[in-house]
Amino acid sequence: MRFACLLADGFEDIEALGTSALLRRAGFEVDFISVYNNKNVEGSYHTVVTDLKNIKNLEVDNYDGIFLPGGRAAYALRENEIVKNVVNDFHKHNKWMLAICAAPTIYGLMGLLDNKKYISFPGTEKEMGNAIRVDAKAVSDGRFITARSAGAVYDFVFEIIKTINGEAALEKFKKNLYF
């Protein structure tokens, strides 16, 4: 299972890197994709990511899903036509659609979450179209898996593992973490 994690300056460090590290630990592959085709991307708390692929070379068929971390970058990404086209391509190809914090608004504003359960950062509800907000740290509905905030990174990863690989895989993962 392989995910494309879209990064732009201002991404929420723990959401992008913590989630990716835990997913890798669970056996998933995660590639960091530079939205602006930069050599480096800097997070909200000054963590610099250098192991980047360029969005211009992103091929949807090489991935099982897309992962959008939050942070102030999410507000810029939701206005970016290239990002919206990539998101639409992943959606049209029935790929996994992961997002945390403010990033679910990208799906919400595009109407992709209409009539689906989601959770996002508090206060983003008005930007979610006809999506159905639930009170949870993380939630899945079909191919969409969303989470509330940086404080929900573990819950987000647990929901991803459980939804994609099943409850037994999640319990094994938790045991190996000594969670």
Which structural domain range is residue 75 located in? 2-177
Per-residue pLDDT tens over the stretch 95-121: 999 999 999 999 999 999 999 999 999
Alpha-helical regions (H) of the chain:
13, 19-25, 73-77, 81-92, 104-109, 153-165, 167-177
Mean pLDDT score across all residues of the chain:
97
CATH number at residue 61: 3.40.50.880
179 pLDDT band, cuts 50/70/90, is: confident
pLDDT of residue 9: 98
- Beta carbons of 126 and 107 less than 8 angstroms apart: no
Which residues are CB-contacts of 100 (< 8 A; sequence separation ≥ 6)? Answer: 12, 15, 19, 68, 69, 70, 146, 147, 148, 149, 152, 153, 156
Q: What percent of the chain has pLDDT over 90?
A: 99
Count of domains observed in the chain: 1
Q: Kindly report the pTM of this predicted structure.
A: 0.97
Per-residue pLDDT tens over the stretch 115-157: 999 999 999 999 999 999 999 999 999 999 999 999 999 999 9
